[in-house]
């Protein structure tokens, strides 16, 4: 069995600590401020920046998390450890549940947390508004019930996928994480039908990083048929990296996966999802295109906004392996770059582009 999304703590990422800052942190007690820092260690004027450094306390309230945390974490020094708060710790203080994900680089994620209204505060405000307006009438309840859609984007997509899914060697059960990573690297910028023709031979010769290294000459000629000769060398680099850094075991976290030569955000997310059963949004030109058409957006927007849009489309059950495969097949078969076959699309009812084609 694979562990569900709730079994993992995401975004527990901290900033590196400067040597002089660590010296200050070690001297500060919980609840301490910049005024408690010895003068010879102060880099800022204490008459102006009396609270430049604040060490939190387990016994007291946290300082309000603001967007300034994106610039530095000096107001949020961990009560016990000599560092500033991680992204997830800041999110917990803001009352975000652990299942909630943030997009972009760490600085952007810190800023999103600092700019946000804490969910529990928003909930309390909403309850107060409802209380002030009085009990919801039966008529209002009936109206709300009528506006809830009978099915979701996810439900309709997965129902279509159950009878229209494409069958590829890399979708078979029993592949180890290296085999999944290897085939995902082969699929990068290459048509799936091309990779499908050589997948079985690649799996036979290079089922582990060590086997790939040992059989590289035979694999190189096979991989050259994909039309991108540099791919074999990049895979060899990846196999050597995993052998040397991770004793032949593919890491199961995004931060380490993207250090592997040839592995970017998409491949790392695909390996986490398909090899380790983790929920991970796959952002590429195909999934971005689907999100853009569903939302009825013109032009390009930042990738992290597309990531959030794809999170929303996946719904509360998250971006599971089946969901991601269904989305990829929708983009390949119906919602293609050349034409959107809206008349055949299973999620047309949820799509703004599809609605305009009625």
| Domain boundary assignment for the chain | 5-115, 176-274
Nearest to 353 by CA among 266, 298, 293: 293
**Per DSSP, what are the bridge partners of residue 335?**
340
The two tokens of residue 358 are 């009625």
The answer to whether the CB of 11 falls within 8 A of the CB of 109 is: yes
pLDDT digits (tens, 9 = 90+) for 180-237: 999 999 998 888 988 998 999 999 999 999 999 999 999 998 888 777 667 889 999 9
Could you give the C-alpha distances from 312 to 76, 317, 318, 334, in angstroms and in order? 31, 10, 9, 21
According to CATH, what is the number of the domain 5-115? 3.90.120.10
The low-confidence residues of the chain, meaning pLDDT below 70, are 1-8, 46-47, 49-50, 134-150, 228-229, 298-301, 357-358
Residue environment code for 200-224, b if the CB has 16+ CB neighbours within 10 A, otherwise e? eebbeebbbbebbbebbeebeebbe
Burial 313-344 (b: 16+ CB within 10 A, else e): bbeeebbbbebbbbbbbbbeebbeeeebebee
From CA 95, how far away is CA 181, in angstroms rounded? 35
Instruction: Write the class of the CATH domain 176-274.
Output: mainly alpha
Using CA atoms of 191, 330, 5, 292 in order, give the dihedral in degrees to the nearest 10: 100
Buried b (16+ CB within 10 A) or exposed e, 118-154: beeeeeeeeeeeeeeeeeeeeeeeeeeeeeeeeebbb
pLDDT value of position 7: 57
Place of tokens 């309390």: 124
pTM of the full predicted structure?
0.60
Q: Is 88 within 8 Å of 11 (Cβ atoms)?
A: yes
Q: Where are the beta strands (DSSP E) in 203-251?
A: none
Which residues have CB under 8 Å from 211's CB, separation 6+? 205
CA torsion angle 328 332 336 341 (round to 10) = -100
Q: What is the pLDDT of residue 225?
A: 76
Q: To which residue do tokens 């380790």 refer? A: 276
């Amino acid at each position: 069995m694979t562990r569900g999304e709730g079994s993992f703590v995401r975004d527990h990422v901290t900033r590196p600590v400067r040597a002089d800052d660590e010296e200050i942190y070690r001297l500060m007690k919980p609840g301490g401020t910049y005024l408690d820092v010895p003068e010879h260690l102060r880099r800022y004027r204490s008459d102006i920046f009396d609270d430049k450094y604040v060490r939190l306390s387990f016994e007291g309230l946290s300082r309000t998390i603001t967007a300034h945390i994106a610039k530095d974490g000096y107001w949020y020094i961990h009560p016990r450890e000599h560092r500033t708060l991680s992204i997830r710790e800041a999110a917990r203080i803001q009352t975000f549940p652990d299942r909630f994900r943030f997009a972009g680089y760490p600085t952007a994620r810190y800023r999103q947390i600092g700019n946000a209204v804490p969910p529990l505060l928003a909930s309390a405000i909403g309850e107060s508004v409802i209380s002030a307006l009085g009990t919801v009438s039966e008529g209002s309840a009936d109206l709300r019930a009528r506006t809830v859609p009978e099915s979701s984007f996810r439900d309709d997509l997965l129902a279509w996928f159950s009878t229209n899914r494409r069958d590829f060697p890399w979708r078979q059960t029993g592949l180890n994480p290296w085999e999944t990573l290897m085939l995902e690297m082969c699929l990068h910028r290459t048509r799936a039908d091309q990779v499908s023709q050589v997948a079985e031979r690649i799996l036979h010769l290079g089922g582990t990083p060590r086997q790939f290294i040992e059989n590289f000459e035979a694999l190189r000629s096979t991989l050259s048929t994909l039309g991108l000769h540099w791919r074999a060398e990049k895979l060899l680099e990846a196999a050597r990296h995993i052998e040397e850094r991770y004793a032949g075991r593919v890491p199961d976290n995004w931060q380490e996966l993207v250090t592997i030569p040839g592995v970017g955000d998409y491949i790392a997310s695909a390996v986490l999802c398909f090899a380790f059963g983790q929920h991970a949004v796959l952002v590429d030109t195909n999934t971005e295109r689907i999100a853009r058409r569903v939302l009825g957006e013109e032009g390009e927007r930042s990738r992290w906004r597309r990531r959030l849009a794809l999170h929303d489309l996946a719904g509360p059950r998250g971006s599971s392996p089946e969901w991601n495969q269904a989305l990829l097949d929708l983009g390949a078969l119906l919602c293609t770059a050349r034409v959107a076959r809206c008349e055949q699309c299973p999620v047309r009812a949820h799509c703004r582009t599809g609605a305009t084609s009625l």
